[in-house]
């Protein structure tokens, strides 16, 4: 190990410890980090160890009192109070996010492939959280949109059938999750299609508002429900923010923080860089069928089947997304060099 003024260098394990501790919320200065780790707090030694940690890990450790951190704290303070704040772990971890499944009776190609990818990811132990990011159900029977035709459009499923179909598919997902030897957190956000049930009851059945049988957390008890989640002060996950073909770009700069959304059925990433940070917006596509009656047999050109696997790094407040595009024509997808077929 190199030396400076008789001070020995640090190991890779110590370098990684310094990086992990550097961005913990209660660390206000460099000395706090070294006291927390039980290392020497001599100013020269701390600067030397910090430099070594940066060189060995390739991660720049920003001063605790610089403008970047001050502005970041202001941005975080502007987040809604009701946003569910989740702490997964203080070191980098993986999450799998899917949205807009609009579950029906049979598995879609995208859903089958997602289960296969998840089985492989569980073996690597990198996935710590799975997020169902809205619109599990379709609830077309409660839609305010009128039918296009009486002859060609099938009768919508009942609310009970929608619930049973969603429970059936989620039970298949649950079996894969339960195969993990380490715990996996399960989060779910309310989408605009889940809202259809609450809106219908508030309009036509106010006397049933306190009936637990209509609550999502009762119907799907394996999942923790909220409108939005903030994971380790690093990324917001919610069903939708902006809409349209430029939603990803709009989300990346309007959110002021990394954000993952569904709703648009688009699968992409966009970024917005400033002098202080780069915020990434991820849209997670959809798991439903590519064709819907209301499209009048047209192709939804800007829809993509798929989902996202995202590495979340709380130590640097960054995310690193991988998108899994599902090709319905040959019923396959590639992920990390491996082909998955349904």
pLDDT value for 216: 79
Most confident of 132-136, 152-156, 232-236, 240-244: 232-236
Sequence spans of domains, the chain:
3-65, 85-341
3-state secondary structure of 110: helix
Q: What's the length of the chain?
A: 342
Burial class (CB in 10 A: 0-12, 13-18, 19+), 79: middle
> Per-residue pLDDT tens for 92-116?
999 999 999 888 878 899 999 999 9
Q: Does the domain at residues 85-341 carry the CATH identifier 1.10.3720.10?
A: no
Q: Are strands 84-86 and 228-231 parallel, antiparallel or unpaired?
A: parallel
Angle, alpha carbons 96-102-107 (nearest 5°): 75
E strand spans, 124-214: 127-133, 185-189
pLDDT of residue 314: 93
Which tens digits make up the pLDDT trace of 131-168?
999 888 776 766 655 454 445 556 677 778 888 888 89
Most confident of 113-117, 203-207, 325-329: 113-117
Q: Is the pTM of this model over 0.85?
A: no
Q: What is the spatial distance between Cα 278 and Cα 280, in angstroms, rounded to a whole number?
A: 7
Q: How much helix, strand and coil, in percent to the nearest 5, is found in the chain?
A: 35, 25, 45
Count CB-CB contacts under 10 A for residue 316. 17
């Amino acid at each position: 190990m190199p030396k400076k003024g008789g001070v020995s260098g640090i190991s890779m394990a110590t370098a990684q410890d310094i990086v992990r501790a550097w961005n913990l919320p209660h660390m206000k200065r460099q000395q706090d980090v070294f006291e927390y780790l039980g290392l020497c707090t001599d100013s020269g030694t701390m600067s030397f160890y910090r430099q070594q940690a940066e060189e060995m890990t390739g991660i720049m450790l920003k001063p605790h009192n610089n403008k970047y951190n001050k502005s970041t704290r202001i941005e975080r303070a502007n987040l809604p109070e009701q946003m569910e704040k989740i702490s997964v772990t203080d070191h980098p971890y993986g999450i799998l996010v899917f949205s807009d499944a609009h579950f029906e009776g049979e598995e879609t190609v995208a859903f089958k492939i997602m289960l296969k990818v998840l089985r492989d990811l569980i073996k690597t132990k990198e996935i710590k959280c799975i997020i169902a990011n809205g619109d599990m159900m379709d609830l077309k029977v409660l839609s305010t949109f009128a039918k296009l035709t009486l002859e060609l459009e099938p009768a919508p499923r009942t609310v009970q059938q929608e619930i049973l179909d969603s429970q059936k598919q989620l039970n298949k997902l649950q079996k894969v999750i339960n195969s993990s030897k380490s715990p996996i957190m399960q989060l779910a956000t309310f989408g605009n299609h889940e809202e259809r049930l609450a809106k219908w009851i508030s309009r036509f059945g106010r006397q049933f508002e306190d009936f637990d049988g209509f609550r999502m957390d009762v119907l799907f008890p394996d999942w923790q429900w909220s409108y939005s989640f903030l994971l380790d002060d690093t990324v917001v996950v919610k069903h939708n923010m902006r809409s349209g073909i430029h939603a990803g770009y709009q989300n990346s700069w309007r959110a002021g923080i990394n954000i993952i959304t569904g709703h648009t059925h688009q699968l992409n990433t966009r970024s917005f860089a400033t002098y202080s940070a780069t915020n990434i917006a991820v849209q997670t596509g959809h798991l439903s069928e590519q064709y819907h009656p209301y499209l009048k047999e047209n192709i939804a050109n800007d829809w993509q089947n798929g989902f996202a696997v995202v590495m979340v790094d709380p130590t640097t407040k960054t995310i690193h997304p991988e998108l899994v595009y599902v090709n319905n024509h040959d019923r396959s997808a590639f992920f990390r060099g491996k082909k998955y077929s349904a």
